[in-house]
C-alpha cells in the first residue's frame, strides 16, 4: 500500500503540478510557493521510503518483527495522509484557476448595453 500511495504522489506531481504551473491564471510570484508546497510532500515521502528501506534491510536498527510491523503501519498511515494532502492541494489550486478564469471572462466580456 505504501508503494501505491507513493506512486500516486509522484504521478500527481508529474502531471497535475505541471498543468497548474502552466496555467496563465497562476501568477509568476506564486509558482515557487506552489512548487515548494508539492515538493515538501514528495521530500517527506522519499524520507519515509529511505527509512523503510533501512528498517527492512539493516540490522543496524535492532527491531523485532512486531516493532517493524508497527513502524510500517505508521508509515502507511502517513503515506495515506500525504495522498490526501496532495489531492486537496491539487483541488484547491484547480479551484483557484477556475475562479480566476471565470473572473477574467467576466472582466473582459463585451458590454451588450
pLDDT tens digits for 30-73?
999 999 999 999 999 999 999 988 888 877 668 888 888 899 99
Is residue 111 scored above 70 in pLDDT? no
pLDDT at residue 112 in the model? 55
Q: How far apart are CA 87 and CA 16, in angstroms?
A: 10
pTM for the model: 0.82
Task: Count CB neighbours of 112 within 10 A.
Answer: 4
Residue of 113, 3, 110, 112 lying closest to 56 (CA atoms): 3
Q: How far apart are CA 15 and CA 92, in angstroms?
A: 16
pLDDT at residue 41 in the model? 94
Amino acid at each position: 500500500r505504501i508503494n501505491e500511495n507513493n506512486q500516486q504522489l509522484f504521478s500527481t506531481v508529474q502531471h497535475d503540478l505541471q498543468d497548474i504551473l502552466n496555467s496563465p491564471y497562476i501568477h509568476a510570484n506564486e509558482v515557487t510557493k506552489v512548487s515548494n508546497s508539492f515538493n515538501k510532500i514528495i521530500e517527506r515521502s522519499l524520507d519515509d521510503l529511505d527509512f523503510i528501506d533501512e528498517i527492512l534491510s539493516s540490522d543496524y536498527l535492532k527491531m523485532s518483527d512486531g516493532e517493524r510491523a508497527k513502524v510500517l503501519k505508521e508509515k502507511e498511515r502517513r503515506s495515506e495522509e500525504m495522498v490526501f494532502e496532495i489531492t486537496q492541494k491539487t483541488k484547491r489550486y484547480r479551484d483557484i484557476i477556475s475562479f480566476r478564469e471565470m473572473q477574467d471572462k467576466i472582466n473582459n466580456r463585451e458590454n451588450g448595453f
